C-alpha cells in the first residue's frame, strides 16, 4: 500500500457526486479526511458558520458509517496540513476547489508550499458544473451577460454523478481530532440558533430527499409559481449546495430527467442553476465583484453609508410590509425567497439610497445559504452597479410587488406578528431570535412607513441623473 492521502474537506461535505473521492478510492490509498477551522472559516458570518458546524457533524457521521472518520483540526491550513502529513506519513493532499479571492489566495500558497516539499498537492473540480475558465466567448473573453452564457453551456455534456463509496480505507492509526463542540461554531448566533434550527435541512441524505421531493412535485409548476414567496415552489437547495451536501451535477441531472419527462418548469429550473454557475464565472474573472462596484463608473455615486435607516431595514422595521416580512424571514429561517431578496435589495439601495455593501454584509451575517458569488452578483444586480444589472431607473415598488406576489398577505402575516390577528410560530419566533439589545416588542404597533415610496424613488432617480451628468 502506498502512503495515505489527506482529503482536505471544505465545501464538499458529501460522498456522492464527489470527483475527488472517486480518484482517492481508485488510488487504493488510505484516506484521511480532515476539516480545518482556519482564519477563513472563522471569518464566516454568524449563520453560515453555525450551519457549517451542523454540516460538519452530519458529514462526520456519514464517514463513520463507511468505516472512515473526519479529523478536526484548528489553525492555519498549511501548518495543520504539514503536521498531519508528518503524523500519518501522507504522500498527498487533495481538495475540491473554491473560487472566492480569500480561498484562492490561501489554496495557491498551500499548493506551492506542499509541492515544494515534495508532496502531491491536487485540487479538483466538484463545486461547479463548469470550471469558470472553461466557458469563453467566441473572442476568448469571459461572459458578462447571462443569456449568452446560458446558451454556451446548456448543451454541454455534464458527467453523471458518481455513486457514494460503500467503504473508505483508513490509515493504520487515526490521528487525534478536536471535539467539534469546543469550536463553538454557533457562538455568534446567540438566541437565533434554536429558532433557525427548526428550518435547517442538514446533511447529504436530507439534501437528496429535498431534491427528490422537488422533482416529484414543485418542478412542474416552477416557472409560474417560483416568484410567490408564500409558496413552497422552489427547490431550497441553495442551503445544501453552498456546503456541498449535494453536488451540482446531481441537481443538473435531476432537472434534465424532469425535462425529458416533460415537466413544464424543468428548463427554467436548469436555467436558475446556471445562474449559480454564472455568478462563479464572474467571481473568477472579476474577483472585485465581492468588494467594489463591478462598474467603476459607480464609484462616484452618492451612496449613503450605514446608519439609522439601514438599521431599521436590518431589523425588519421599515414599515414596508413586503420588506419587513422578508428581513424577518431571513432572521427566522436563515434564508429568504429570491423575489424577496430582490425587493429588499432594491429598497435598501434605491429607496434608502444605501451602499449595496451594507446589505451584502448583513446577508453574509444572516444567511445559512450564504454564497460568496451569488450574494455579490445579486447585490450588484439590484444596485445597478454590476454586470447584467437591473437598470437603475427600474425601481421595484414594494407595494405593487406585494399585490402581485403576495395578494392574500399570507407571506406578510407569516412573518409580521403585528399584522396577523393570531400570529403564527414564525412571526412570534422573530422576537425570540433577535438580540435583546434591539428592544423589540411583539405587542408594539407595526411601525409607520419610514420612507414615502414616491419620495424615495424620486431621490434615487435624481442621484442617478447626477451620476450620469458627472460622467
Ligand atoms: P431555486 O429557485 O430552486 O433554484 C435552484 C438553484 O439555482 C438555487 O439553489 C441556486 O443555487 C441557483 N440559483 C437560483 N437563483 C439564483 C440566482 N439569482 N443567482 C445565483 N444562483 C441562483 N443565492 C445563494 O445561494 N446564496 C446567497 O448568498 C444569495 N444571495 C443573494 C442576494 C441577492 C441580493 C439576490 C437578489 C439573490 C441572492 N441569491 C443567493 C440567489 C437566489 O436568491 C437564491 O439562490 C435562491 O433564492 C435560492 O432558493 P432555491 O434554492 O429555492 O432556488
At residue 388, the pLDDT reads 76
pTM, 2 dp: 0.98
At residue 44, the pLDDT reads 98
371: annotated binding-site residue?
Answer: yes
At residue 239, the pLDDT reads 98
25-to-10, 15, 30, 91 alpha-carbon distances in Å: 18, 11, 8, 15
Residue with cell 453523471: 160
238: annotated binding-site residue?
Answer: yes
At residue 321, the pLDDT reads 98
Take atom 37 of ligand 1 and give the residue whose Cα is closest: 378
Where are the domain boundaries for CATH 3.40.50.620 in the chain? 5-126
- Tell me if 383 CB under 6 Å of ligand 1: no
Q: Which atom of ligand 1 is nearest to the CA of 367?
A: 28
At residue 391, the pLDDT reads 76
Q: How far apart are CA 92 and CA 24, in angstroms?
A: 10
Q: How far apart are CA 166 and CA 158, in angstroms?
A: 24
- Tell me if 21 CB under 6 Å of ligand 1: no
- Tell me if 342 CB under 6 Å of ligand 1: yes
DSSP track, 34-70: EEEE-HHHHTS-HHHHHHHHHHHHHHHHHHHHTT---
Q: How far apart are CA 360 and CA 379, in angstroms?
A: 6
Catalytic, 303? Answer: yes
Where are the domain boundaries for CATH 1.25.40.80 in the chain? 128-158+194-285
Where are the domain boundaries for CATH 1.10.579.10 in the chain? 296-467
At residue 470, the pLDDT reads 61
- Tell me if 142 CB under 6 Å of ligand 1: no
If you classify domain 5-126 with CATH, what class do you get? Answer: alpha beta
Cα-to-centroid distance, 55 and ligand 1 (Å): 19
**Side-by-side strand order, sheet with 5-9:** 71-74, 31-37, 5-9, 92-96, 120-124
Which CATH superfamily hosts domain 296-467? DNA Cyclobutane Dipyrimidine Photolyase, subunit A, domain 3 (1.10.579.10)
At residue 462, the pLDDT reads 92
The architecture that CATH gives domain 128-158+194-285 is Alpha Horseshoe (1.25)
Query: Which stretches in the chain have pLDDT values below 70?
Result: 1, 470-471
- Bridge-partner residues for 121, per DSSP? 93
Amino acid at each position: 500500500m502506498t502512503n495515505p492521502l489527506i482529503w482536505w474537506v471544505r465545501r464538499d461535505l458529501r460522498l456522492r457526486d464527489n470527483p475527488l473521492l472517486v480518484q482517492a478510492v481508485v488510488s487504493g490509498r488510505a484516506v484521511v479526511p480532515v476539516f480545518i477551522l482556519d482564519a477563513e472559516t472563522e471569518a464566516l458570518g454568524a449563520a453560515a458558520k453555525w450551519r457549517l458546524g451542523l454540516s460538519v457533524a452530519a458529514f462526520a457521521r456519514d464517514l463513520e458509517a463507511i468505516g472512515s472518520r473526519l479529523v478536526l483540526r484548528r489553525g492555519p491550513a498549511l501548518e495543520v496540513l504539514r503536521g498531519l502529513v508528518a503524523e500519518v506519513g501522507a504522500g498527498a493532499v487533495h481538495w475540491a476547489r473554491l473560487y472566492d479571492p480569500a480561498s484562492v489566495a490561501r489554496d495557491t500558497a498551500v499548493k506551492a508550499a506542499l509541492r515544494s516539499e515534495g508532496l502531491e498537492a491536487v485540487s479538483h473540480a466538484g463545486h461547479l458544473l463548469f470550471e469558470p475558465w472553461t466557458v469563453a466567448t467566441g473572442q476568448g473573453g469571459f461572459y458578462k451577460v447571462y443569456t449568452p452564457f446560458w446558451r454556451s453551456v446548456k448543451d454541454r455534456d455534464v458527467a453523471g454523478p458518481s455513486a457514494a463509496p460503500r467503504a473508505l480505507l483508513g490509515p493504520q492509526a487515526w490521528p487525534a481530532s478536536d471535539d467539534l463542540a469546543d469550536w463553538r461554531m454557533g457562538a455568534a448566533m446567540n438566541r437565533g440558533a434554536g429558532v433557525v434550527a427548526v428550518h435547517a435541512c442538514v446533511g447529504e441524505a436530507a439534501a437528496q430527499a429535498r431534491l427528490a421531493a422537488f422533482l416529484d412535485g414543485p418542478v412542474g409548476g416552477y416557472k409560474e409559481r417560483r416568484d410567490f414567496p408564500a409558496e413552497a415552489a422552489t427547490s431550497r437547495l441553495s442551503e445544501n449546495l453552498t456546503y456541498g451536501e449535494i453536488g451540482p451535477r446531481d441537481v443538473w441531472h435531476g432537472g434534465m430527467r424532469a425535462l425529458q419527462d416533460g415537466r413544464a418548469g424543468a428548463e427554467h429550473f436548469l436555467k436558475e442553476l446556471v445562474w449559480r454557475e454564472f455568478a462563479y464565472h464572474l467571481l473568477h474573472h472579476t474577483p472585485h465583484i465581492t468588494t467594489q462596484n463591478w462598474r467603476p463608473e459607480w464609484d462616484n455615486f452618492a451612496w449613503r453609508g450605514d446608519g439609522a435607516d439601514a438599521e431599521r431595514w436590518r431589523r425588519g422595521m421599515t414599515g414596508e410590509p413586503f420588506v419587513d416580512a422578508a428581513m424577518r424571514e431571513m432572521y427566522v429561517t436563515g434564508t429568504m425567497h429570491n423575489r424577496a431578496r430582490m425587493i429588499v435589495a432594491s429598497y435598501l439601495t434605491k429607496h434608502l439610497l444605501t451602499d449595496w455593501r451594507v446589505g451584502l454584509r448583513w446577508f453574509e451575517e444572516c444567511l445559512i445559504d450564504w454564497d460568496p458569488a451569488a450574494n455579490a452578483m445579486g447585490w450588484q444586480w439590484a444596485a445597478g452597479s454590476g454586470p447584467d444589472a437591473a437598470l437603475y431607473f427600474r425601481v421595484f415598488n414594494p407595494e405593487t410587488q406585494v399585490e402581485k406576489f403576495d395578494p392574500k398577505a399570507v407571506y406578510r402575516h407569516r412573518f409580521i406578528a403585528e399584522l396577523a390577528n393570531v400570529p403564527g410560530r414564525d412571526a412570534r419566533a422573530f422576537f425570540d431570535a433577535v438580540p435583546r439589545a434591539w428592544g423589540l416588542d411583539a405587542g408594539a404597533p407595526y411601525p409607520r412607513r419610514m420612507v414615502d415610496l414616491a419620495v424615495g424613488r424620486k431621490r434615487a432617480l435624481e442621484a442617478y441623473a447626477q451620476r450620469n451628468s458627472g460622467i
